[in-house]
Structure 1
Amino acid sequence: MSTIPIADYALVSDRHSAALVSRDGSVDWLCFPRFDSPSVFARLLDDEAGHWSIHPAVPHQASRRYLDRTMVLETTFSTASGTLVLTDALLVGADNGGHRLGVGVPRLLARRLACTDGEVPVETVYRPRPEYGLIAPILSEVPSGVTSRGGAEWLVLTTPVRLSLGEAIGRGTFTLRAGETVYFGLHRSTLEETPARVWAQEELASRLESTIGAWRSWSDLHQAYNGPWRDLVHHCGRVLQALSFQPSGAIVAAATTSLPEGVGGERNWDYRYTWVRDASLTMEALWVAACPDEANDFFSFLTTAAPSLDRKKSLQIMFGVGGEHDLSERILPHLRGWRGSRPVRVGNGAWNQQQIDVYGELLDAAHRLADQLDGIDDDTRHFLAACADTAAERWTEKDQGIWEVRGEPRHFLYSKVMCWTALDRAIELAGLLRAEDRVKQWARIRDDIHRTVLREGWNRDVGAFTQYFGSSALDASNLMMPIVGFLPADDPRMLATIDAVEERLTDEAGLVYRYRAEGEVDGLEGEEGTFLLCTFWLAHALALAGQGVRARAVFERAAGYVNDVGLLAEEVDPAGGELLGNFPQAFSHIGLVNAAWAISEVRQTVAA
């Protein structure tokens, strides 16, 4: 089984697919040609499921960074005899002066290895295992490369050094001296496409430089945030961009599947899909961190992916990155999981749950990005208005809530608040949606929701808003109430809820749990870590309440868990402070961006 810490990985992406590279220069996760495709390398989940490593063949130390304003990874290996620098990227294309990343990508993982001083012996191991490790492919030598054929995959490894092949593994050793640079590449196609090919060293060098330039052009054009933690916020914007699927406008929740919420537990989910909630919140965070110019693509994707929405049918809460509806969950029993955390799942059974909060996040994003939606078509207008109608119709129903509990549906407070948000934003968007005739009805129902939440969601004995109507349990999602404007953050009930979360729903390090896991509520066994998004929500709510000092302290507490290349997973292990859950997790970076922005607004208000 895999035991490498989650924080030891870094992400590279071409906005079609993603790879995770370990601190020791091993690609331990790669899915071609899409984020949700079966993996080629999956050592992340099982030592036998494939990897591709390049590193010194002698004792060494490693340090890493992303090249300035890019998602191109640079790892420096220091040895007693010399220094190596390994640069990794999934190659991207750009058009229109850097407006779009990932256009016309070649489905190619490029790796540049340079010796900057001395001389260093190098070892590389190439062990592809397509279809989540099920296939040991046939490896064959070709000039300057190795072909790999198995299942639906046709892979060609470009290698400037000859590999010894045996048992579906290629191994090579060589020495680099100061000033020498070599390029490797892994090119992929399906059997139906033009076969993958070996790339010349000059081609790889040129395409890698073009990729670096494309990321920098995009960053320079889009990233204007200039508040506190500027560099980190900009980096999070690039991470969120890296988790978006260029061909459709979809956005994945994370790049991985089945990294656990608790070591050895069953809370292991596939996050390589587009949740309406997560993607909408990502679009809002990009408004802060990256000035997105692809809002039309995103809303067009959802309009296409969710046809025939009416009040008799709720909006499906998640889709494949190509708009697929059926994401049926299955278990991969041959994989042992990260640190023995089983089962390993692909697909996600939440796809057919009812979660009525999604209308709120979606219309809130449309409201935030309204200036970019002048060109939306009538189908998209109808879709967004239908979302408001459906929220108005279904807000009284029980659902599985934001946390996708697999227990019984309940009247979750957060879901009701987000139905209120959907109607509140739809009213303001009525002109854009050409739905002025519905405003009176939307306003009436919006006000009904508000009264009901205040009456049924407040628990006098607990002294806070609680998880669902009639509950005594706290839930960090209620911190969103002031963030969406349901109540002012300085309302006494809101202040009491903020204090209750900070006092009763945090661990010793001051990080926030979503809720206290109970089998009766979520239908699952075992515990989970603290949730980074919820901790950033706490910072955000405190900032809105005018408590800037407390907000900054909470923010820095959570932001302190970024790994050495600025990435966050979903959760933190309360016992040891280790990152847990799928990685990198969009939710965590969204929370960081929005909390930083809220704190910057407080600072500006104070300064004024």
Structure 2
Amino acid sequence: MPTPLNQSVADSALLMNSLPLGLLRTFVRPHEDHGITPELMADLRILSRVPGLLVACNYGGTLCAAEGVSTETLPLDSAAVALRALAALPNTHAAIISGRSLRDLAAVSRLPAEVHLVGSHGVEFDMGYAYNLSLATETLLQQVATALTEAVAYEKGVSIVRKPVGVAVHTRPATPEVVERVIFKSRQIAVEYGLYFIIDGTVLDLTVEEPAKGQALDALRQRLGVSAALFAGDAESDEKALATLRGPDLGLHVGSGMTTAGHTIPDPEAFARVLALLFELRRSWLFGEDAVGLERHSMIANGTSTALLTPDAKVCWMSHPLPDSGSLFAHILGGDPAGHFSIEPVKPSPVLAQRYLDNTMVVETRWADVTVTDYLEPAPEGITSLVRVLSGTGTARVTFAPRPDYATAPFNMEIRDHEVHVVGTSDPIILVAPGVDFTITNDSRHATATAEVQLQSGPVVLNLRCGDTESLPTDLDGEPGRRAAVVQSSREWVTSLQLPTIKTSLVRRSALVLKSLVHEPTGAVLAAPTTSLPEGIGGTRNWDYRYCWLRDGAMTVNALVSLGSTAEADGFLRWLGGILENAPGPEWLHPLYSVTGAPLSTEAIVESLPGYAGSRPVRIGNAADHQVQLDVFGPIAELIHDLGERRGYLPDGHWYLMEQMAHAVIARWHEPDHGIWEARRPPRHHVYSKVMCWVTLDRALRAAVLHGRAAHADWSSTAETIRAEVLREGWDSSAASYTVAYDSPDLDAAVLHIGLSGLLEVNDQRFLDTVAAVERELRVGPTVFRYRYDDGLPGLEGGFHICTTWLIEAYLAVGRLDDALELFNQLVALFGPTGLLPEEYDPGTETHLGNHPQAYSHLGFIRCAQLLDRYLASADVE
């Protein structure tokens, strides 16, 4: 079976798989009285999500039933397995800090080297410690051992054991009366010889060193570089370690007695369950819960908001009020703790189907006796309205678990009539649910509302309203009419499109996706509705795409123009015009903006979220905002040209924008930049960027001729200068291809545009060689990689769907119809079950990757279907 894990994650997974982990899951059973309170559970969840974790504990009485001198004191099997499993996790360490000598501790515990051992109450870190004691100390300890032997060794159940820094009196088999006498006499001897006296469970220690479990815990923290620790103990000496805990640290006391620990659990068996539970929570945070394939997620949208659904109707991603605002549900990036809105049948059954209602963004998920219909209805800007209609003959279970602001914002819930109010958030969040009786539970940090809904009497409507208290629907009987209006509006728009005859249904779905990524109040266009869905599972190439790239936005609305829908292009160009009004000049445009037109805030990391399938970090914002990307002017100029050509006229405002794009190119085309792929390295003279600079001037010149506008005097000469330089400097003889940048042999799929743009004739041998090189070096099965060179970022990535579509287009341009059809059909096979595509595909692991759904992927697919349609139509005519 293919695995989505990259090698580093796989190595850790193999190590853990060597352990009997199935055993761990049996130690914590629902509804069992095992001392794990809701408060402890909440603290364990928090602790499990810290970047670096140390799990430390005492030995006797904590990991095993009692202290003693025999091998009967092996740790509980369950505790040993859990401790080993924790030590095998990345950025997770395990340690035992015991009163035993280090040699005895190592022999009796039989734990692997991954578990750090510290003996003699925190003093003995290595086996050589005992050999460094002075002769005077050795003599003193021998005298103490003799005194103890004479004073208490005759007592039944008492034994004397020498340690490297002390002498121990073991009393486990002795009666309480004997223990009382032995403690009294041993303490007297300790005072007489000037030693420290420690009662550690059933062991009495007389030692030359002061107990240092607290110092030992701090030393381990510093050595291992952890950010939080758990410490568990049962003895008085463990209190010194518990006293050092701070912040997100967690202290556990095992057994009875007074303690400063935050939680008390009854016995070592309960501690073993805590360790097993902590392992499961941390493993889930590090590697992600069983991740649903990205391509299997469906999107709903209404022109202002978007949300993602899993195949079983779980709302796993939604932000409010803007696309780049904090999430309300982020299950896709962090599992249940990150927030979700789930509906499922009470009677377990598999999902029979999930589909879009024809020509809409309304999703229907169906089980045997429950059906859920989901859509986002139109709402004023700043308001999100999610409607979920439950129908069928069975009983549905509803779980409403919002977790605002990436699960970092505190909140509470209240039930008012048949409304669930989320309390304490900056915007009102209300779930309107007439006839549904919710129960609210709280884990001391987050609240969750649950209900079971009988559907035999008719459909039940749930309406989640965010940012709105004035127009809450009190009577949801009108829902069918509201849904019908949403459906009719969508279908009327689809009917207006001019669709190709090839894969018409997928083109139609792709067009709906592109329209859904248009933020109608502003005209901006999202590259994707999500953040940090990884380009490599377990890797760090996780970016926030909830913004409007000038390039992506122009290409998206131009794809819709090609299908006959122009309103989105008008909105985008208005949005761009507003940005230019506030820019110091067109040449200083940023590559991307918030949908509001504002520059982005600093890129940040949400440490509390583990990421999709454990792929961290989760990023908010995008540092590419500060890059120089000179190619962005080309797609804008092409959009203005194509829109004017389709309509037969060019408004003054659009011509002004064309002039601004040309001005930007004249001012900066000769500079190096960061390129289309936003490499986080020093700028270079990227061939694709230069080609797009040429495209800007070429389309401006064409538009001037087409619409009788006056071209600027320097446009033509500069365009020719750029073209000549690109053809000369962009070619690399060793690669026999145009390459990513001047003076570089590295291939880049984007250089296919040297022919696709018209800069170079497609029958020129240099373009034919470039197509062959990209095919040879970058195509792997059904996908094409952007490049293979080192871009300065760790980890790997998949092939990019838009690069695949460029190669299909290049095949057609050079007359290779069979190759184009073969690759096109392979791309079609990668679509998800509801017709959506993420950004990338890894052919090695057969894993879909990247933010989802991706505008690039769908606009590239539309263009290929159109080109194939025209190509085949012209072939039929001939």
Query: In the alignment, which residue of structure 1 is the partner of 2:717?
Result: 444
Contact 2:785-2:798 within 8 A present in 1 as well: yes
Q: How does 1:101-120 map to 2 (within 5 A)?
A: 107-115=384-392, 119-120=393-394
Structure 1 unaligned blocks of 5 or more:
94-102
- 2:580 partner amino acid: A
Contact 1:264-1:341 within 8 A present in 2 as well: yes
- Candidates 814, 831, 850, aligned match of 1:545: 814
Query: In the alignment, which residue of structure 2 is the partner of 1:275?
Result: 549
Quote the Cα distance in structure 1 between the aligned partners of 2:856 and 2:610.
26
Q: How does 1:521-560 map to 2 (within 5 A)?
A: 522-560=791-829
Query: In the alignment, which residue of structure 2 is the partner of 1:97?
Result: none
Contact 1:249-1:294 within 8 A present in 2 as well: yes
Shift of 1:457: 0.9
Identity fraction in percent: 34
1:482 matched to 2:755? The reply is yes
Contact 1:285-1:594 within 8 A present in 2 as well: yes
Shift of 1:364: 0.7
- 2:578 partner amino acid: T
Query: In the alignment, which residue of structure 2 is the partner of 1:89?
Result: 375
Contact 1:92-1:104 within 8 A present in 2 as well: no
1:30 matched to 2:305? The reply is no
1:217 matched to 2:495? The reply is no
Query: In the alignment, which residue of structure 2 is the partner of 1:13?
Result: 301
Quote the Cα distance in structure 2 between the aligned partners of 1:411 and 1:285.
28
- Candidates 334, 342, 347, aligned match of 1:46: 334
Quote the Cα distance in structure 2 between the aligned partners of 1:437 and 1:21.
50
Q: 1:149 to 1:306 in 2, by over 3 A?
A: farther
Contact 1:88-1:109 within 8 A present in 2 as well: yes
Contact 1:544-1:598 within 8 A present in 2 as well: no
Contact 2:381-2:521 within 8 A present in 1 as well: no
Contact 1:234-1:290 within 8 A present in 2 as well: no
1:238 matched to 2:524? The reply is no
Contact 2:306-2:323 within 8 A present in 1 as well: yes
SS in 1 for 2:307: strand
- Greater shift, 493-502 or 244-253, is seen at 493-502
- Candidates 156, 163, 170, aligned match of 2:449: 170
Contact 2:607-2:618 within 8 A present in 1 as well: yes
Query: In the alignment, which residue of structure 2 is the partner of 1:100?
Result: none
Per-residue CA deviations over 1:191-223 (Å, capped at 9, x if unaligned) read xx64573542213332122111111122112x1
- 2:788 partner amino acid: R
Q: 1:484 to 1:150 in 2, by over 3 A?
A: farther
- 2:386 partner amino acid: L
Q: Which structure: larger Rg? A: 2
Shift of 1:492: 1.5
Query: In the alignment, which residue of structure 2 is the partner of 1:77?
Result: 367
Q: 1:59 to 1:488 in 2, by over 3 A?
A: farther
Per-residue CA deviations over 1:37-85 (Å, capped at 9, x if unaligned) read 211111111121111001112322221111011111111113xxxx322
Query: In the alignment, which residue of structure 1 is the partner of 2:849?
Result: 580
SS in 2 for 1:19: strand
1:402 matched to 2:671? The reply is no
Per-residue CA deviations over 1:478-531 (Å, capped at 9, x if unaligned) read 122222212232322111111111111122x2410000141xxx3211110111
1:596 matched to 2:865? The reply is yes
- Greater shift, 57-66 or 311-320, is seen at 311-320
TM-score of the pair, normalised by structure 2: 0.64
Q: 1:280 to 1:398 in 2, by over 3 A?
A: same
Quote the Cα distance in structure 1 between the aligned partners of 2:572 and 2:764.
35
- 1:183 partner amino acid: V
SS in 1 for 2:455: strand
Quote the Cα distance in structure 1 between the aligned partners of 2:794 and 2:740.
19
Q: How does 1:373-384 map to 2 (within 5 A)?
A: 378=652, 380-384=654-658
Contact 1:296-1:373 within 8 A present in 2 as well: no
Quote the Cα distance in structure 2 between the aligned partners of 1:194 and 1:26.
25
Contact 1:183-1:205 within 8 A present in 2 as well: no
Shift of 1:563: 0.4
Q: How does 1:91-170 map to 2 (within 5 A)?
A: 91-92=377-378, 107-115=384-392, 119-159=393-433, 160-167=435-442, 168-170=447-449
Shift of 1:292: 2.6
- Greater shift, 303-312 or 393-402, is seen at 303-312
Q: How does 1:458-497 map to 2 (within 5 A)?
A: 458-497=731-770
1:606 matched to 2:869? The reply is no
Quote the Cα distance in structure 2 between the aligned partners of 1:309 and 1:147.
42
Query: In the alignment, which residue of structure 2 is the partner of 1:514?
Result: 786
Quote the Cα distance in structure 2 between the aligned partners of 1:436 and 1:347.
41
- Greater shift, 390-399 or 307-316, is seen at 307-316
- Greater shift, 142-151 or 402-411, is seen at 142-151
Q: 1:55 to 1:375 in 2, by over 3 A?
A: farther
Per-residue CA deviations over 1:265-295 (Å, capped at 9, x if unaligned) read 1111110000000011101211233523232
- 2:758 partner amino acid: G
Contact 2:314-2:343 within 8 A present in 1 as well: yes
Contact 1:185-1:199 within 8 A present in 2 as well: no
- 1:503 partner amino acid: R
SS in 2 for 1:429: helix
Quote the Cα distance in structure 2 between the aligned partners of 1:22 and 1:235.
18
Quote the Cα distance in structure 2 between the aligned partners of 1:592 and 1:144.
46
Quote the Cα distance in structure 2 between the aligned partners of 1:505 and 1:592.
19
- 1:67 partner amino acid: L
1:259 matched to 2:528? The reply is no
1:205 matched to 2:480? The reply is yes
Structure with greater proportional helix content: 2
SS in 1 for 2:630: coil
Quote the Cα distance in structure 1 between the aligned partners of 2:350 and 2:412.
34
Contact 2:644-2:650 within 8 A present in 1 as well: no
Quote the Cα distance in structure 2 between the aligned partners of 1:350 and 1:476.
20
Shift of 1:148: 0.8
Q: 1:60 to 1:7 in 2, by over 3 A?
A: farther
- Candidates 487, 503, 507, aligned match of 2:776: 503
Shift of 1:566: 0.4
Shift of 1:106: 5.6
- 1:512 partner amino acid: V
Query: In the alignment, which residue of structure 1 is the partner of 2:466?
Result: 188
Q: 1:437 to 1:553 in 2, by over 3 A?
A: closer
Per-residue CA deviations over 1:365-398 (Å, capped at 9, x if unaligned) read 1111114778876555333202112112211110
Per-residue CA deviations over 1:222-260 (Å, capped at 9, x if unaligned) read x12133111111110010000100001110000000001
1:57 matched to 2:334? The reply is no
Quote the Cα distance in structure 2 between the aligned partners of 1:45 and 1:329.
17
- 2:563 partner amino acid: A
Query: In the alignment, which residue of structure 2 is the partner of 1:334?
Result: 608
Quote the Cα distance in structure 2 between the aligned partners of 1:574 and 1:506.
10
Contact 1:309-1:386 within 8 A present in 2 as well: no
Per-residue CA deviations over 1:413-445 (Å, capped at 9, x if unaligned) read 00000000000001112368886150x411111
Query: In the alignment, which residue of structure 2 is the partner of 1:424?
Result: 698
SS in 2 for 1:45: helix
Quote the Cα distance in structure 2 between the aligned partners of 1:188 and 1:453.
52
Aligned length: 582
- Greater shift, 573-582 or 277-286, is seen at 573-582
- 1:260 partner amino acid: P
